[in-house]
Structure 1
Protein backbone atom coordinates (compact mmCIF):
# COMPACT_ATOMS: atom_id res chain seq x y z
CA UNK A 1 0.00 0.00 0.00
CA UNK A 2 1.57 3.26 -1.15
CA UNK A 3 1.31 6.19 1.22
CA UNK A 4 0.27 9.57 -0.04
CA UNK A 5 3.21 11.95 0.22
CA UNK A 6 1.38 15.08 -0.87
CA UNK A 7 -2.00 16.36 0.11
CA UNK A 8 -4.45 18.28 -2.06
CA UNK A 9 -4.72 22.03 -1.66
CA UNK A 10 -8.44 22.29 -2.50
CA UNK A 11 -11.29 19.82 -2.11
CA UNK A 12 -14.36 20.20 -4.35
CA UNK A 13 -17.76 18.68 -3.63
CA UNK A 14 -20.60 18.22 -6.11
CA UNK A 15 -23.63 15.98 -6.33
CA UNK A 16 -23.37 12.86 -8.43
CA UNK A 17 -26.93 13.17 -9.75
CA UNK A 18 -26.12 15.27 -12.82
CA UNK A 19 -27.69 18.42 -11.32
CA UNK A 20 -24.42 20.36 -11.09
CA UNK A 21 -22.27 21.45 -14.03
CA UNK A 22 -18.73 20.11 -13.44
CA UNK A 23 -17.37 22.49 -16.08
CA UNK A 24 -18.11 25.31 -13.61
CA UNK A 25 -15.46 23.95 -11.25
CA UNK A 26 -13.07 26.74 -12.29
CA UNK A 27 -15.67 29.31 -11.11
CA UNK A 28 -15.89 27.53 -7.76
CA UNK A 29 -12.15 27.41 -7.05
CA UNK A 30 -11.25 30.83 -8.52
CA UNK A 31 -11.93 32.80 -5.29
CA UNK A 32 -9.71 30.38 -3.35
CA UNK A 33 -6.87 30.72 -5.82
CA UNK A 34 -7.12 34.44 -6.61
CA UNK A 35 -8.63 35.91 -3.41
CA UNK A 36 -7.30 33.43 -0.83
CA UNK A 37 -10.85 32.55 0.30
CA UNK A 38 -11.08 29.52 2.58
CA UNK A 39 -14.42 28.23 1.23
CA UNK A 40 -16.67 28.87 -1.76
CA UNK A 41 -20.30 27.84 -2.11
CA UNK A 42 -21.83 27.43 -5.55
CA UNK A 43 -25.10 29.31 -5.09
CA UNK A 44 -27.91 27.85 -7.18
CA UNK A 45 -29.03 31.22 -8.51
CA UNK A 46 -32.74 31.35 -9.40
CA UNK A 47 -31.96 32.92 -12.79
CA UNK A 48 -29.56 30.07 -13.59
CA UNK A 49 -31.68 27.19 -12.28
CA UNK A 50 -33.55 24.96 -14.67
CA UNK A 51 -37.29 25.12 -14.02
CA UNK A 52 -38.27 22.32 -11.62
CA UNK A 53 -34.69 21.55 -10.57
CA UNK A 54 -35.49 22.41 -6.95
CA UNK A 55 -38.72 21.47 -5.21
CA UNK A 56 -40.80 23.94 -3.20
CA UNK A 57 -39.69 22.29 0.10
CA UNK A 58 -36.03 22.60 -1.02
CA UNK A 59 -36.42 26.27 -1.90
CA UNK A 60 -38.24 27.04 1.35
CA UNK A 61 -35.84 24.97 3.49
CA UNK A 62 -32.84 26.61 1.87
CA UNK A 63 -34.29 30.06 2.49
CA UNK A 64 -35.18 29.21 6.10
CA UNK A 65 -31.75 27.74 6.89
CA UNK A 66 -29.79 30.62 5.34
CA UNK A 67 -32.10 33.18 6.98
CA UNK A 68 -31.56 31.60 10.40
CA UNK A 69 -27.81 31.52 9.79
CA UNK A 70 -27.95 35.22 8.95
CA UNK A 71 -30.07 35.99 12.03
CA UNK A 72 -28.01 33.97 14.52
CA UNK A 73 -24.50 34.34 13.07
CA UNK A 74 -24.54 37.26 10.63
CA UNK A 75 -23.76 34.81 7.80
CA UNK A 76 -24.03 36.02 4.24
CA UNK A 77 -24.99 32.67 2.70
CA UNK A 78 -27.93 32.48 0.29
CA UNK A 79 -27.65 28.74 -0.40
CA UNK A 80 -26.68 25.40 1.09
CA UNK A 81 -25.58 24.30 -2.37
CA UNK A 82 -23.68 21.03 -2.56
CA UNK A 83 -21.30 22.29 -5.28
CA UNK A 84 -18.55 23.84 -3.19
CA UNK A 85 -14.83 24.05 -2.62
CA UNK A 86 -12.72 24.42 0.49
CA UNK A 87 -9.02 24.49 1.27
CA UNK A 88 -8.00 20.99 2.31
CA UNK A 89 -6.37 22.13 5.57
CA UNK A 90 -9.47 24.13 6.47
CA UNK A 91 -11.70 21.11 5.80
CA UNK A 92 -9.63 19.06 8.23
CA UNK A 93 -10.00 21.83 10.86
CA UNK A 94 -13.80 21.50 10.64
CA UNK A 95 -13.77 17.92 11.96
CA UNK A 96 -16.91 17.12 9.97
CA UNK A 97 -19.32 14.65 11.58
CA UNK A 98 -22.55 14.51 9.57
CA UNK A 99 -22.66 11.85 6.88
CA UNK A 100 -26.26 12.49 5.79
CA UNK A 101 -28.57 15.42 5.15
CA UNK A 102 -26.86 17.99 7.36
CA UNK A 103 -23.31 18.00 5.99
CA UNK A 104 -23.71 21.20 3.95
CA UNK A 105 -25.06 23.26 6.83
CA UNK A 106 -22.56 21.69 9.26
CA UNK A 107 -19.68 22.77 7.03
CA UNK A 108 -21.03 26.29 6.66
CA UNK A 109 -21.79 26.71 10.39
CA UNK A 110 -18.38 25.42 11.46
CA UNK A 111 -16.67 27.68 8.91
CA UNK A 112 -18.56 30.67 10.38
CA UNK A 113 -17.66 29.69 13.94
CA UNK A 114 -13.99 29.37 12.97
CA UNK A 115 -14.16 32.70 11.13
CA UNK A 116 -13.10 31.24 7.80
CA UNK A 117 -13.31 33.55 4.83
CA UNK A 118 -16.00 32.51 2.38
CA UNK A 119 -17.96 33.67 -0.61
CA UNK A 120 -20.59 32.39 -3.00
CA UNK A 121 -20.50 32.25 -6.77
CA UNK A 122 -23.64 31.80 -8.85
CA UNK A 123 -23.85 28.43 -10.58
CA UNK A 124 -26.29 26.75 -12.92
CA UNK A 125 -28.43 23.88 -11.65
CA UNK A 126 -30.52 21.36 -13.57
CA UNK A 127 -33.00 18.60 -12.86
CA UNK A 128 -31.34 15.59 -11.34
CA UNK A 129 -31.28 12.10 -12.76
CA UNK A 130 -33.39 9.70 -10.70
CA UNK A 131 -35.42 10.34 -7.56
CA UNK A 132 -33.80 12.10 -4.64
CA UNK A 133 -33.78 10.33 -1.25
CA UNK A 134 -34.02 13.81 0.28
CA UNK A 135 -36.20 16.09 -1.83
CA UNK A 136 -38.01 13.32 -3.69
CA UNK A 137 -39.86 11.95 -0.67
CA UNK A 138 -41.86 13.44 2.19
CA UNK A 139 -39.84 11.40 4.70
CA UNK A 140 -36.54 12.59 3.19
CA UNK A 141 -37.61 16.22 3.14
CA UNK A 142 -38.70 16.06 6.79
CA UNK A 143 -35.50 14.30 7.92
CA UNK A 144 -33.37 16.79 6.00
CA UNK A 145 -35.25 19.73 7.47
CA UNK A 146 -34.96 18.41 11.01
CA UNK A 147 -31.26 17.66 10.57
CA UNK A 148 -30.46 21.07 9.10
CA UNK A 149 -32.44 22.95 11.75
CA UNK A 150 -30.91 20.87 14.55
CA UNK A 151 -27.39 21.84 13.39
CA UNK A 152 -28.37 25.51 13.32
CA UNK A 153 -29.94 25.45 16.77
CA UNK A 154 -27.08 23.35 18.18
CA UNK A 155 -24.60 26.02 17.12
CA UNK A 156 -26.87 28.91 18.09
CA UNK A 157 -26.94 27.88 21.73
CA UNK A 158 -23.48 26.33 21.99
Structure 2
Protein backbone atom coordinates (compact mmCIF):
# COMPACT_ATOMS: atom_id res chain seq x y z
CA UNK A 1 0.00 0.00 0.00
CA UNK A 2 1.64 3.23 -1.16
CA UNK A 3 1.04 6.63 0.39
CA UNK A 4 2.23 10.10 -0.53
CA UNK A 5 2.91 12.07 2.67
CA UNK A 6 2.55 15.82 2.15
CA UNK A 7 4.75 17.86 4.47
CA UNK A 8 4.22 21.64 4.35
CA UNK A 9 7.57 23.15 5.25
CA UNK A 10 8.83 26.56 6.32
CA UNK A 11 12.30 26.56 7.88
CA UNK A 12 12.25 23.01 9.27
CA UNK A 13 15.83 22.00 8.38
CA UNK A 14 16.51 20.90 11.97
CA UNK A 15 13.46 18.64 12.17
CA UNK A 16 13.42 17.12 8.68
CA UNK A 17 16.16 14.50 9.18
CA UNK A 18 14.23 12.91 12.08
CA UNK A 19 10.90 13.10 10.24
CA UNK A 20 12.17 11.75 6.92
CA UNK A 21 14.29 9.13 8.62
CA UNK A 22 11.21 7.55 10.22
CA UNK A 23 9.05 7.12 7.13
CA UNK A 24 7.43 3.67 6.98
CA UNK A 25 7.94 1.47 3.95
CA UNK A 26 5.72 2.47 1.04
CA UNK A 27 5.51 6.13 2.06
CA UNK A 28 6.89 8.79 -0.29
CA UNK A 29 7.53 12.20 1.25
CA UNK A 30 6.40 15.27 -0.70
CA UNK A 31 8.00 18.23 1.05
CA UNK A 32 6.38 21.50 0.01
CA UNK A 33 8.74 24.36 0.64
CA UNK A 34 6.89 27.57 1.46
CA UNK A 35 9.77 30.03 1.33
CA UNK A 36 12.39 28.53 3.65
CA UNK A 37 15.65 30.38 4.18
CA UNK A 38 17.42 27.71 6.25
CA UNK A 39 18.19 25.17 3.55
CA UNK A 40 15.13 23.00 4.17
CA UNK A 41 14.67 22.05 0.47
CA UNK A 42 18.26 20.82 0.24
CA UNK A 43 17.90 18.80 3.45
CA UNK A 44 14.66 17.26 2.21
CA UNK A 45 16.20 16.31 -1.14
CA UNK A 46 19.23 14.82 0.60
CA UNK A 47 16.93 12.52 2.57
CA UNK A 48 15.14 11.35 -0.57
CA UNK A 49 12.00 13.48 -0.48
CA UNK A 50 10.29 14.90 -3.53
CA UNK A 51 10.56 18.67 -3.11
CA UNK A 52 7.86 21.02 -4.40
CA UNK A 53 8.16 24.80 -4.27
CA UNK A 54 5.10 26.84 -3.29
CA UNK A 55 5.60 30.57 -3.72
CA UNK A 56 2.19 31.52 -2.31
CA UNK A 57 2.65 31.81 1.45
CA UNK A 58 0.22 29.97 3.68
CA UNK A 59 -0.33 26.54 5.22
CA UNK A 60 -3.27 25.79 2.96
CA UNK A 61 -1.37 26.90 -0.12
CA UNK A 62 1.45 24.50 0.73
CA UNK A 63 -0.96 21.63 1.49
CA UNK A 64 -2.81 22.11 -1.77
CA UNK A 65 0.37 22.36 -3.81
CA UNK A 66 1.43 19.04 -2.30
CA UNK A 67 -1.96 17.51 -3.05
CA UNK A 68 -1.69 18.58 -6.69
CA UNK A 69 1.84 17.17 -6.93
CA UNK A 70 0.97 13.85 -5.26
CA UNK A 71 0.48 10.70 -7.31
CA UNK A 72 -0.56 7.98 -4.86
CA UNK A 73 -4.19 6.97 -4.48
CA UNK A 74 -4.06 7.68 -0.75
CA UNK A 75 -2.42 10.84 0.56
CA UNK A 76 -1.60 11.89 4.10
CA UNK A 77 -0.72 15.26 5.60
CA UNK A 78 1.57 15.91 8.54
CA UNK A 79 3.53 18.80 10.01
CA UNK A 80 7.26 18.73 9.30
CA UNK A 81 8.25 20.01 12.76
CA UNK A 82 8.79 16.60 14.44
CA UNK A 83 5.69 16.99 16.62
CA UNK A 84 4.19 13.84 15.08
CA UNK A 85 5.83 10.47 14.49
CA UNK A 86 5.70 9.20 10.88
CA UNK A 87 5.88 5.67 12.28
CA UNK A 88 2.26 6.15 13.39
CA UNK A 89 1.02 7.10 9.93
CA UNK A 90 -0.50 3.67 9.38
CA UNK A 91 -3.08 4.52 12.04
CA UNK A 92 -4.62 7.13 9.73
CA UNK A 93 -3.87 5.58 6.34
CA UNK A 94 -4.88 1.94 6.87
CA UNK A 95 -8.62 2.65 7.41
CA UNK A 96 -8.65 4.75 4.22
CA UNK A 97 -6.84 2.06 2.24
CA UNK A 98 -9.32 -0.56 3.46
CA UNK A 99 -12.29 1.59 2.48
CA UNK A 100 -13.73 1.77 5.99
CA UNK A 101 -13.15 5.52 6.34
CA UNK A 102 -13.04 8.37 3.82
CA UNK A 103 -11.20 10.90 6.00
CA UNK A 104 -9.18 9.86 9.03
CA UNK A 105 -7.85 12.48 11.43
CA UNK A 106 -5.14 11.88 14.02
CA UNK A 107 -6.32 12.97 17.47
CA UNK A 108 -3.28 14.39 19.21
CA UNK A 109 -2.42 12.90 22.59
CA UNK A 110 0.38 14.99 24.17
CA UNK A 111 3.22 12.94 25.64
CA UNK A 112 4.12 15.79 28.02
CA UNK A 113 2.61 19.04 29.25
CA UNK A 114 5.15 20.95 27.14
CA UNK A 115 3.91 19.39 23.91
CA UNK A 116 0.56 21.22 23.86
CA UNK A 117 0.07 24.37 25.98
CA UNK A 118 -3.23 24.56 27.85
CA UNK A 119 -4.49 27.64 25.99
CA UNK A 120 -4.09 25.91 22.61
CA UNK A 121 -5.84 22.79 23.91
CA UNK A 122 -8.71 24.96 25.13
CA UNK A 123 -8.98 26.69 21.76
CA UNK A 124 -8.95 23.32 20.00
CA UNK A 125 -11.74 22.01 22.23
CA UNK A 126 -13.89 25.02 21.34
CA UNK A 127 -13.14 24.52 17.66
CA UNK A 128 -14.18 20.87 17.94
CA UNK A 129 -17.47 21.96 19.51
CA UNK A 130 -18.12 24.35 16.64
CA UNK A 131 -17.35 21.62 14.11
CA UNK A 132 -19.90 19.32 15.76
CA UNK A 133 -22.50 22.08 15.68
CA UNK A 134 -21.81 22.91 12.03
CA UNK A 135 -21.41 19.39 10.62
CA UNK A 136 -22.59 16.85 13.19
CA UNK A 137 -19.15 15.21 13.06
CA UNK A 138 -17.81 14.38 16.53
CA UNK A 139 -14.09 15.13 16.40
CA UNK A 140 -12.08 15.91 19.52
CA UNK A 141 -9.19 17.43 17.59
CA UNK A 142 -8.58 19.06 14.23
CA UNK A 143 -5.20 17.39 14.05
CA UNK A 144 -2.54 18.04 11.39
CA UNK A 145 -2.10 14.31 10.65
CA UNK A 146 -4.89 13.16 8.35
CA UNK A 147 -5.41 10.91 5.34
CA UNK A 148 -7.87 10.52 2.47
CA UNK A 149 -7.98 9.51 -1.19
CA UNK A 150 -6.30 12.03 -3.48
CA UNK A 151 -8.89 12.21 -6.25
CA UNK A 152 -11.75 12.65 -3.79
CA UNK A 153 -9.86 15.38 -1.94
CA UNK A 154 -9.23 17.27 -5.16
CA UNK A 155 -12.92 17.00 -5.98
CA UNK A 156 -13.78 18.88 -2.77
CA UNK A 157 -12.32 21.98 -4.49
CA UNK A 158 -10.91 23.45 -1.29
CA UNK A 159 -10.42 27.21 -1.45
CA UNK A 160 -8.69 28.23 1.80
CA UNK A 161 -4.97 28.79 1.40
CA UNK A 162 -4.10 29.71 4.99
CA UNK A 163 -4.67 28.00 8.33
CA UNK A 164 -8.35 27.26 7.66
CA UNK A 165 -7.44 24.50 5.19
CA UNK A 166 -7.78 21.52 7.60
CA UNK A 167 -11.09 22.84 8.88
CA UNK A 168 -12.41 23.38 5.36
CA UNK A 169 -11.40 19.80 4.56
CA UNK A 170 -13.59 18.48 7.38
CA UNK A 171 -16.52 20.80 6.63
CA UNK A 172 -16.62 20.07 2.90
CA UNK A 173 -16.07 16.35 3.46
CA UNK A 174 -18.96 16.26 5.94
CA UNK A 175 -21.20 18.17 3.52
CA UNK A 176 -20.31 15.59 0.85
CA UNK A 177 -21.37 12.73 3.12
CA UNK A 178 -17.90 11.35 3.80
CA UNK A 179 -17.28 8.89 6.61
CA UNK A 180 -15.00 10.82 8.98
CA UNK A 181 -13.26 9.33 12.01
CA UNK A 182 -10.33 9.97 14.33
CA UNK A 183 -7.63 7.86 15.93
CA UNK A 184 -5.13 8.64 18.70
CA UNK A 185 -1.57 9.64 17.74
CA UNK A 186 1.27 10.80 19.99
CA UNK A 187 1.93 14.55 20.09
CA UNK A 188 5.54 15.49 20.82
CA UNK A 189 7.15 18.83 21.68
CA UNK A 190 7.69 20.44 18.29
CA UNK A 191 11.01 21.63 16.91
CA UNK A 192 11.07 25.45 16.93
CA UNK A 193 8.10 27.78 17.19
CA UNK A 194 4.81 27.28 15.38
CA UNK A 195 4.31 29.47 12.32
CA UNK A 196 0.55 29.44 12.87
CA UNK A 197 -0.03 29.77 16.62
CA UNK A 198 3.47 30.51 17.88
CA UNK A 199 2.83 34.26 17.97
CA UNK A 200 -0.23 36.35 18.96
CA UNK A 201 -0.55 37.56 15.35
CA UNK A 202 -0.36 34.02 14.03
CA UNK A 203 -3.00 32.83 16.49
CA UNK A 204 -5.29 35.74 15.59
CA UNK A 205 -4.96 34.96 11.88
CA UNK A 206 -5.75 31.30 12.52
CA UNK A 207 -8.92 32.21 14.43
CA UNK A 208 -9.97 34.57 11.61
CA UNK A 209 -9.31 31.95 8.93
CA UNK A 210 -11.28 29.27 10.75
CA UNK A 211 -14.16 31.58 11.60
CA UNK A 212 -14.48 32.43 7.92
CA UNK A 213 -14.64 28.74 6.99
CA UNK A 214 -17.33 27.97 9.58
CA UNK A 215 -19.46 30.90 8.51
CA UNK A 216 -19.12 30.15 4.81
TM-score strictly above 0.5: yes
1:3 corresponds in structure 2 to none
Query: Which among 97, 102, 105 is matched to residue 33 of structure 1?
Result: 97
SS of alignment partner, residue 141 of structure 1: helix
Q: Kindly indicate whether residue 128 of structure 2 is the aligned counterpart of residue 66 of structure 1.
A: yes
Q: CA RMSD in A?
A: 1.6
2-structure distance, mates of 1:37, 1:148: 24
* Moved >4 Å (runs of 4+): none
> In structure 1, how many angstroms separate the alpha carbons of the residues matched to 2:200 and 2:71?
40
Work out which of the residue numbers 80, 104, 127 in structure 1 matches 2:189: 127
Using the size of structure 1 for normalisation, the TM-score is 0.86
Distance (Å, rounded) in 1 between the aligned partners of 2:179 and 2:147: 12
| Equivalent residues of 1:62, 1:79 under 8 A apart | yes
Normalised to the residue count of structure 2, the TM-score between the two structures is 0.64
2:171 alignment counterpart: 109
* Matched residue, 2:106: 42
Instruction: Count how many residue pairs are aligned between Structure 1 and Structure 2.
Output: 147
Structure 1: runs of 5 or more not aligned: 1-5
- Cα separation, 2, equivalents of 1:149 and 1:111: 17
Unaligned runs of 5+ residues in structure 2 are 1-69
1:18 corresponds to which residue? 82
Q: Identify the residue that residue 77 of structure 1 maps to in structure 2.
A: 139
Aligned partners of 2:196, 2:186: CA distance in 1, in Å? Answer: 20
Q: Which has the higher contact order (CA 8 A, sep 6+)?
A: 1
